[in-house]
Amino acid sequence: MAVTTTTVAETCAAAKRAARTLGSASTEAKNAALEATARLLEQRTAEILEANAGDLADEGAAGLSEALRDRLALTPERVAAMAEGVRAVAALDDPVGEQLEHKILDNGLDLRKVRVPLGVVAVVYEARPNVTIDCAALTIKSGNAIVLRGSHYAERSNGALAAIVREALAEAGLPEDAVAMLAGGGHEELAELATQEGLVDLLIPRGGEGLKEAIKAVATVPVMYAAAGNCHVYVHAEADLEMARRIAVNAKVQRPGVCNAAETLLIDAAIAERFAPAVLGDLAEAGVELVGDERARAAAGEIAVGEAGESDWDTEFLGLKIAVAVVDSVEDAVEHVNAHGTGHSEAIVTTSEAAAEEFVAGVDAAAVYVNASTRFTDGFEYGMGAEIGNSTQKLHARGPIGMRELTTFKYVARGDGQIRG
């Protein structure tokens, strides 16, 4: 396996050296590494699944919820999807060297603003082994080295996947230390990674509020949070109700353990008595636990809806549970979303363009959907090939973190002897 036995500082230093080489590597060499990664994933699917089976059988994973076990589990189809994602990244234009601006200054200087890699990116993540491949593919193509720290209960899976990428890098003549996997150690190791100033250029934690707070307490390197998703679907008074049923069920049920799944359903009071029994019946039939406010429970008819507690409106359930509220207007829906959401993904279902525009303008989120499921907030769905996570921040990057979000820029000025007077 590719899990490192060196110290965190040694691993980051090796990644920094590798980043200097990878940052100037040709597009052809980077694509060759990605093509080799995809091929090896397909050739070694059985080995990957064996490692994953070991993780699932380990006592460390025994207490995981069904949603988390689903995120940890790999299948032949999921490994094939990883390979497809790597090839999709390889097919994208190389962002490194892209000219963002160009002008000739009054003094004759030829000034260009060009895109360059960040350097070393560190990613801390939980459960999902496919993140190992997504992160590695995006950083290789964007010319960055990466230091990965996954969960201890996915150590076998992550190690097997990282080993494949390192072998692919070597095959393409690139430094294998451009991808390193730390063992899933304790808080001391996390704190050490978050304080590698001069070696780590960006740290991206993917996980819940606990991980976010742990990083905030110690980090001295720049951090971009791929934060939790407390997402909402608002069904407006002028919605197509059949469409709204499909969207609400898909947003909650299609894969409930991910950050872009809906956790709250808001129903306009004007349609609550007509719509609530149907959509809540759909959700209950799909095995979703329902909790709601007083008006939602009254509108539910014969569908059993528990009483929602104050914390339910702020909870990312990551499972088959949803909170339901009745609101009086678009303004009230926006107020609820902004009070309780995490700035991830929000949706309105409506045939009214005015209502849609009011919701889009008023909601403070990285992604806003009109007549579509929140489940589309994803780098692959957005044509980025893959993603490292979804940023809910407003500086540097917002939404899916793809290749361009892993770059910065530099100004390059060419002259013929100019000096400043």
Structure confidence by residue, pLDDT tens digits, 251-262:
999 999 889 999
Is a pLDDT exceeding 60 seen at residue 3?
A: no
- Which residues neighbour 86 within 8 Å (Cβ) at sequence distance 6 or greater? 34, 37, 38, 41, 133, 137, 385, 386
Please indicate, yes or no, whether residues 126 and 152 belong to a single structural domain of this protein: yes
Q: Do residues 47 and 144 both lie within one domain?
A: yes
Q: Looking at the domain assignment, is residue 314 inside a domain? A: yes
Does 178 reside within a domain?
yes
DSSP count for the chain of H helices, then E strands = 14, 17
Residues 60 and 103 in one domain: yes
- Dihedral angle sign, alpha carbons of residues 121, 391, 142, 130: positive
Q: What is the pLDDT of residue 2?
A: 54
Q: What's the total number of domains in the chain?
A: 2
Whether residues 158 and 237 share a domain: the answer is: no
Give yes or no: residues 271 and 246 share one domain: yes
Backbone phi, then psi, for 293, in 5-degree steps?
A: -80, 180
Instruction: Read off the CATH number of the domain in which 163 is found.
Output: 3.40.605.10
Q: Can you tell me the mean pLDDT for 195-222?
A: 90
The overall average pLDDT reported for the chain is 94
Give yes or no: residues 368 and 261 share one domain.
yes
86 in a structural domain? yes
pLDDT tens digits along 221-268: 999 988 789 999 999 999 999 999 999 999 999 999 889 999 999 999
> Would you say 11 and 191 are in contact if contact means Cβ atoms under 8 Å apart?
no
Query: Would you give the distance in Å from CA 411 to the centre of its chain?
Result: 30
Q: Are residues 22 and 67 in the same domain?
A: yes
Residues 209 and 237 placed together within one structural domain of the fold: no
The encoded tokens of residue 245 equal 């049923």
Q: For residues 162 and 84, state if they share a domain.
A: yes
Name residue 368's beta-bridge partners. Answer: 346
- The SS3 assignment for 235 reads strand
Residue 89 in contact with residue 141, Cβ under 8 Å? yes
State CA 322 to chain mean position distance.
21
CB 156 within 8 Å of CB 236: no
The model's confidence at residue 184, banded by pLDDT at 50, 70 and 90, is low
Q: Is the dihedral of CA 415, 416, 417, 421 positive or negative?
A: negative
Q: With pLDDT > 90 as the criterion, what percentage of the chain qualifies?
A: 81
Question: What are 307-363's pLDDT values in tens digits?
Answer: 999 999 999 998 999 999 999 999 999 999 999 999 999 999 999 999 999 999 999
Please give the residue range of the domain that contains residue 217.
3-226+388-414
Give the angle subtended at the CA of 129 by the CAs of 171 and 323, to the nearest 5°.
Answer: 150
Check whether residue 368 and residue 399 sit in a common domain: no
d(CA 339, CA 348): 16
CATH number at residue 309: 3.40.309.10
31 has pLDDT over 60: yes
Quote the pLDDT of residue 69. 87
| 382 within domain boundaries | no
- Taking alpha carbons only, the member of 267, 273, 280 closest to residue 333 is 267
Residue type, 122: A
Residue 4: pLDDT above 60? no
Is 180 within a domain?
Answer: yes
State whether residue 96 is helix, strand or coil.
Answer: coil
Measure the CA–CA gap between 16 and 24, rounded to whole angstroms: 13
Task: Extract the tokens encoding 391.
Answer: 């940023």
Whether residues 94 and 153 share a domain: the answer is yes
